[in-house]
Chains A and B, each alone.
Chain A
């Protein structure tokens, strides 16, 4: 008798399998809790890693940065001129800046684009400095938008970018072309520039390796600290080496670096709570990337361009504007050193503090646990519903077809909304309100239940049984599908997978109401369905997240426009993965089924 046989006998002897089956809902819940708790465990000392520069060629801060002293005069000179342009139109401003660029030795051109929801076209201006060294097939980009992400005039930012551009033109060390882009804003305008650069621009300068977006509103000479943003859409992040380089250079220049909008008084902190805050804000920012129009670095996502945003915050701190210039200078010199593309370091990571991070291998189990939790819940739904397996399998085709049609119609409607030729804001409102009504429907149950009743009539002899098996199986299919969706996106977009898992978790508590159900089941169903409804979550985000000034409508707008504007998948994942699962579960949760007539096996009696 081999060891395996011993084990098998023991399992049989103590009846572990039925016990396990019975305990599946608990195991599933435990998995979900472990998934959630895993993240809480990561910021504990010893679980995270210190950042390091992986690519030896980068050598951040190894060369002395000379952007100082009289360069400041030029910067002020540019700023004085730019200050007079506040009231001018973008076209006039662009013409002026194009002149500056040409004077500084750049080849400048304008790029025209048409925003998705407007007829008049906007324009961006950009200039190219061809590399005197090297083959000139690669480029580095500085972006200084006319308006910053909070809508103010990016006066210092553009002045600094111009000053840097002029300063860079004096050197012959560049092996990569330098591109200065001044878009109208760092969102759609910049995105369309990036798109055109890869398809239709006449003046190009090779493949872009790295991009820095500079935001420094106001006309003060000093600022408090530097805010670094790095999230891209669809879970894409810049290579950790670029982020590390920028952070290490900034700290080397003696300024404080804030990640995830850490307020000034908490920047130096490195405690469990500070790390956890940065971690959660990071997950939130990544999950909402594309919906929230704020950073500017996310517009480079999808083009294999490493991009970060540097934002100078405060206007009466101890750091002067040339320090930011030196950060840009040193970062560009580091990137200039690169012989290969950024590939050495991590592309998937979560930051805890400017110098601490977690790599994908460490945080991934969290989402894996969620995916397992959903799969187990689905299994439990099948094994614990009390119906014999053949009965369940019998309704398989019908259930699968139903679920498929739910998914298809969700996909169809969801995509139709994107191309609806009516005023955009109307759609956002309608969609949101409609969604919320739907979300509150299960609390009434009546309508859906009434709608679903004819569904089971295919077996006139025993309609309810058929309905019961279909209801259970449908829920199981929904949960299994949720598990599949989470598994398929958890590597590329961990944050979205994690957030969606938490939001969808209540769906595992939904059960069809049977005669055996507890009195609370209806309420549990209603609350669970409400909590996991995508539109309710949109409402919650809109209310709770202060960055969305227009509340839920803005979130909805972000969801619906991000596909077209940023090629952001979030909405498609919601309509393909989340809404069908929710609708399926809502149907199950709204049904009252009678299983007793079939002679349902009561597991409790069995044991």
Chain B
């Protein structure tokens, strides 16, 4: 877990073997057990392009590439994009129980889809035009509704997302919290890999299993890196793909045994034998006394395939090491054994390829190079001791817990309540980033901060919590509100920030399909920072982000009209109007007379033949002439 988190994201330390063309590929699957039978798996793919002169045109670049996905490069050069980050996330990372996010949160996003990019442009407008081009192209690329990213949800973060404030470089960011993440997003990602999911660890990727987990987060980071190796001004691209999952192992295993969630047969029940127990009574227990052993393909649903090697490929297990890489003493060790079994026609006769002892000092197993023929491997992972022994060490606990919720239940107004809990002994500096759709009208003057100690006692503390605030107000139908707060959360305290908003009415056509579901708000992004100890007293101070976390997405319900109602009303009122008009008209105009009277009247009336009409016309003409004469 910790080893994972130490790895800096963008300059991943996985040894990259540079092939002749300068491009390289490395992949790594790491497995980290979490408490309560959970298993965190991380597929990490690193692809580096060959170097090329920064001024060369895209076609000449592409002709040099062999393993790097060309399609992305085209897009990047067309839109002048320097860095591109995409996050697909669904589910909930339970940091109370599972500790820190993998890679210190740098590879996970908020629920739904998140995208940010650094675009080189001469003006903000040009950057935005490029951004629109980029997201529209990516939309087809990743089978996601990225094309819905427009000016109403795009923000320009000030402090978060590694903004470097370079001249001519614009950082744009947008999120689609409503985007469901599923298998169709996985396929394009696999296609980016040189192995195309046919060999190496990517052969384990099966959408059915990956998306049947408790938490899924996929990250794609594409960076343009200036090369300092050579004399001339050359650059290369680096693509890092991370697929993070959390599986519940007992659940995954029982799903294979019983695809339907049928009740477990009585004899297989895992009971707490300290409590009353017989054929009818069973207090459930999470303790697996015999330990839990499972094969890797039971979790991923596929077997590992090996083909001619393209890059460095290994499987790592991080469990019996401390943060310093020291082995945990034998008596405290959580015996997790990684065993590879070469499968043949007869599984029993398959021979052991490697066992726990065969792992290298990093607890990794390198997938063998160039096997004689295509082989399929079964990797058997055994967890000998009980799962209950797995505890999150203090170092792996997040330094801060942040939760955000909506208060109130009214349709016209509401409020946000953000709780920062710092249980540690150090003050924490952080940046709180939030982008809100324009239809929420934020009242920043209602912002209130309450500081409490950990045992919920109110403390009067005049310490300044919010150091700096960057707020861009929303413009209706044009721009979202962006709120960035640089904060300091005092040690051993709970800070509650509340502020309220009004909900505005939307136009008829602005409601999304399923408007009665409510409107989803993207997660807030909390970046923990450390200020650099700079000699200069320049403001603002430089800082390094060391941990990123996101709150869960929220749902607001706006006043939603009953869309069929206008039609009903129109039809009903029209009918009533017609009926009433007819009746009233009759009552006012119609006369009841006897038949004889009618006949008499008929006789008196002038006959409407041709002569009558001629006479009528004549009299009309006459009258007009007389009138004009008078004038």
A and B co-occur in one complex: yes
Interchain CB contact (< 8 A) of A138 among B112, B248, B266, B555: B555
A4, B262: Cα distance in complex, Å: 76
- Interfacial chain A residues near B248, Cβ < 8 Å: 105
Interchain CB contact (< 8 A) of B214 among A132, A203, A340: A132
Known: A2-B591, A70-B265. A136 touches B409 (CB 8 A): no
A198 touches B91 (CB 8 A): no
Q: Closest CB-CB distance, B559 to chain A, in whole Å?
A: 12
A4, B560: Cα distance in complex, Å: 45
- Interfacial chain A residues near B408, Cβ < 8 Å: 198-199
B557 touches A200 (CB 8 A): no
Q: What are 13 A-B contacts defined by CB distance under 8 Å?
A: A2-B587, A2-B589, A3-B587, A66-B262, A66-B263, A73-B269, A73-B282, A74-B283, A80-B275, A135-B520, A198-B408, A200-B417, A201-B405
A201, B276: Cα distance in complex, Å: 36
Interchain CB contact (< 8 A) of B284 among A66, A133, A166, A198: A166
Q: Closest CB-CB distance, A72 to chain B, in whole Å?
A: 7
Q: Does B554 interact with chain A (Cβ within 8 Å)?
A: yes
B90 touches A70 (CB 8 A): no
Q: Closest CB-CB distance, B172 to chain A, in whole Å?
A: 23
**7 further A-B pairs in the complex, CB-CB below 8 A; given A131-B91, A135-B553, A202-B421:** A1-B591, A3-B587, A73-B281, A80-B276, A136-B553, A137-B552, A198-B407
B516 touches A343 (CB 8 A): yes
Q: Which residue of A lies closest to B216 (CB)?
A: A132
Q: Closest CB-CB distance, A46 to chain B, in whole Å?
A: 23
Number of residues from A at the complex interface, CB < 8 A: 54
Known: A69-B263, A77-B271, A343-B516. A104 touches B284 (CB 8 A): yes
Q: Does A12 interact with chain B (Cβ within 8 Å)?
A: no
- Describe A's contact surface by its main secondary structure: loop
B284 touches A3 (CB 8 A): no
- Interfacial chain A residues near B586, Cβ < 8 Å: 3
8 shortest interchain CB distances as A-B pairs: A77-B283, A130-B92, A340-B516, A137-B555, A73-B282, A69-B263, A4-B587, A204-B405
Interchain CB contact (< 8 A) of A78 among B36, B90, B283, B555: B283
**CB interface residues, B 105-121, toward A, < 8 Å:** 111-112
- Interfacial chain B residues near A133, Cβ < 8 Å: 90-91
- Interfacial chain A residues near B329, Cβ < 8 Å: none
- Describe B's contact surface by its main secondary structure: loop
> Chain B, interface size: which category?
35 or more
B592 touches A76 (CB 8 A): no
Q: Does A304 interact with chain B (Cβ within 8 Å)?
A: yes
Interchain CB contact (< 8 A) of A3 among B214, B264, B514, B590: B590
A138, B212: Cα distance in complex, Å: 19
- Interfacial chain B residues near A252, Cβ < 8 Å: none
Q: Closest CB-CB distance, A514 to chain B, in whole Å?
A: 41
Q: Does A272 interact with chain B (Cβ within 8 Å)?
A: no
Q: Which residue of B lies closest to A65 (CB)?
A: B261
A416, B518: Cα distance in complex, Å: 40
**CB interface residues, A 95-125, toward B, < 8 Å:** 103-105, 107
A135 touches B266 (CB 8 A): no
A135 touches B283 (CB 8 A): no
Known: A2-B588, A2-B590. A172 touches B275 (CB 8 A): no
Known: A2-B587, A73-B269, A136-B552. A103 touches B409 (CB 8 A): no
Q: Does A461 interact with chain B (Cβ within 8 Å)?
A: no
A70, B589: Cα distance in complex, Å: 81
Q: Which residue of B lies closest to A208 (CB)?
A: B409
Q: Does B251 interact with chain A (Cβ within 8 Å)?
A: yes
Q: Does B406 interact with chain A (Cβ within 8 Å)?
A: yes
Q: Closest CB-CB distance, A51 to chain B, in whole Å?
A: 21
- Interfacial chain A residues near B111, Cβ < 8 Å: 135-137
Q: Does B177 interact with chain A (Cβ within 8 Å)?
A: yes
Q: Does A303 interact with chain B (Cβ within 8 Å)?
A: yes
Q: Using an 8 Å CB-CB cutoff, how does the interface string of A63-91 with B read, 1 for contact, 0 for none?
A: 01011111111101110110000000000
Interchain CB contact (< 8 A) of B406 among A67, A80, A207, A340: A207
Q: Closest CB-CB distance, B126 to chain A, in whole Å?
A: 34
A76 touches B90 (CB 8 A): no
Q: Which residue of A lies closest to B110 (CB)?
A: A135
A172 touches B212 (CB 8 A): yes
Q: Which residue of B lies closest to A304 (CB)?
A: B409
- Interfacial chain A residues near B405, Cβ < 8 Å: 201, 204
Q: Using an 8 Å CB-CB cutoff, how does the interface string of A50-70 with B read, 1 for contact, 0 for none?
A: 000000000000001011111
Q: Closest CB-CB distance, B497 to chain A, in whole Å?
A: 12
Known: A68-B263, A302-B409. A137 touches B553 (CB 8 A): yes
Q: Which residue of A lies closest to B282 (CB)?
A: A73
Q: Using an 8 Å CB-CB cutoff, how does the interface string of A27-68 with B read, 1 for contact, 0 for none?
A: 000000000000000000000000000000000000010111
A201, B419: Cα distance in complex, Å: 10
Q: Does B183 interact with chain A (Cβ within 8 Å)?
A: no
B275 touches A77 (CB 8 A): yes
**CB interface residues, B 544-575, toward A, < 8 Å:** 552-555, 557, 560, 562
A7, B518: Cα distance in complex, Å: 55
Q: Using an 8 Å CB-CB cutoff, how does the interface string of B252-284 with A read, 1 for contact, 0 for none?
A: 001000001111111001011001110111111
A340 touches B514 (CB 8 A): yes
Q: Does A13 interact with chain B (Cβ within 8 Å)?
A: no
